[in-house]
Amino acid sequence: MQKRFKVNVAPLLACLILSVTAGSTAFSRGRVPALIRAEKPQVPRSVAAPPGATLNIFQKQKLQDYLAGFTEPIDSLRVIVLQVQFADSLMGGQPGSLRPEVRDSTWFANEMRHVEQYFRGASQSTTNIAWRVEGRLYNLPEGMGYYGDDRYEETRVVELAQTVIDSADADVDFSLYDNVFIVHAGAGQETDVAGNSPEQIWSSFYDLGDIQFAVDSLVAGLTTGDSLDGEPFYVDNFSIVPENASQDFQTIGTLGIWVFETGSRLGLLPMFDSTPPGFQDAQGNPGTNPSNPSGPIHSP
């Protein structure tokens, strides 16, 4: 049965203002809140990271619109879903994969239907997620650890996205979509409960500022072979999420992670607890649980 979720505007606005004034780095790049979080070294770049790395481009615009009195929701978001596997980590159910649970276009389409239903219910039918799952499974040239290495992840995940877009360019007209949604084989590091899988990729949303920071250049986005209105079309944002979130003897669903990253592209503000350990929460424990969109995140 489809559930409806009502939005309480007051705590949402409070969280928006607090996130901007506090400059918390917990909102960096739309990353799903983690059970275990590693500190990552900074890599020098001539292109600066998004200021404070607090909000992505779409969240900043949504906040500006809200404060200016414009509260109309985005009525539609067009999403293309691409499925990829690594040289050393194959998609679930593939020959040679260590995960027997089948993860294919049918499974991903079912999960995207749940994402669509969630936003339709949460927005009272004002927001529609129009999606398509590309049927091909694309192969990456490197192992998961190459892309997920915490020291280089900001650059190598963008490299991953460009590789996938290049591979899918003959199958997909990227100018028809607002967001590229990459589903990779294996789990994400946000559910690495045991803390023993540093090679895993953090589920995240990347905007144009993140892409420019990664390539160290003021590019218009990731290149495609497509055009829009006679001009070359560039992908200026993408999400990366896992095909499976359960690991370390913990059963965790992927829906909350997929919803969280889709919400980042819609400009929704993360409501998880961003205060450092030992500090009192600003407003209790508001939030979106990565494994349960309607559940709270509790302080450790």
The total domain count for the chain is: 1
Structural domain boundaries enclosing 248? 9-266
In a domain, 85, yes or no: yes
Q: Is residue 119, in this structure, part of any structural domain at all?
A: yes
Return the pLDDT at 47: 58
- Determine, yes or no, domain membership for 27: yes
Q: Is 216 inside any structural domain?
A: yes
Q: Cα(256)–Cα(222) distance, rounded to whole angstroms?
A: 27
- How far apart, in whole angstroms, are the C-alpha atoms of residue 293 and residue 290? 6
* 56: its two tokens: 């992505």
Q: How high is the pLDDT of residue 185?
A: 96
Position 64 in a domain: yes
Beta strands in the chain (DSSP E): 76-85, 128-139, 179-184, 204-206, 222-228, 231-235, 238-242
DSSP class of residue 169 equals T
pLDDT along the chain (300 residues), means of 10: 30 32 42 49 50 77 90 86 96 89 94 97 94 98 96 96 98 98 96 93 96 96 97 98 93 94 92 64 40 35
The bridge status of strand 238-242 relative to strand 76-85 is: unpaired
CA atoms within 13 A on the CB side of 291: 17
290: left (phi over 0), alpha (psi -120 to 50) or beta: alpha
Give the single-character DSSP code of 99. -
DSSP state of 30: G
Residue 192: the pLDDT is: 94
**Beta carbons of 208 and 52 less than 8 angstroms apart:** no
| 271 is a domain residue | no
Q: Within 10 A of 75 (CB to CB), how many other CB atoms are there? A: 10
CB-CB neighbours of 56 under 10 Å: 24
Is residue 194 classed exposed, middle or buried when 0-12, 13-18 and 19+ CB atoms within 10 A define those classes? Answer: exposed
Diameter over CA atoms, the chain: 55
pTM of the model: 0.80
Instruction: Name the pairing type of β-strands 222-228 and 231-235.
Output: antiparallel
Spatial distance between the Cα atoms of 281 and 273, rounded to a whole number of angstroms = 7
Kindly report the three-state secondary structure assignment for every residue of 55-69: CCHHHHHHHHHHHCC
Cα radius of gyration rounded to whole Å, the chain: 18
- Kindly state whether residue 29 falls inside one of the protein's structural domains: yes
CA–CA separation, 270 vs 26, rounded Å? 9
The whole-number pLDDT of residue 29 equals: 63
pLDDT at 288: 39
User: In this structure, is residue 283 part of a structural domain?
Assistant: no
- How high is the pLDDT of residue 101? 87
pLDDT at 196: 93
pLDDT for the residue numbered 161: 98
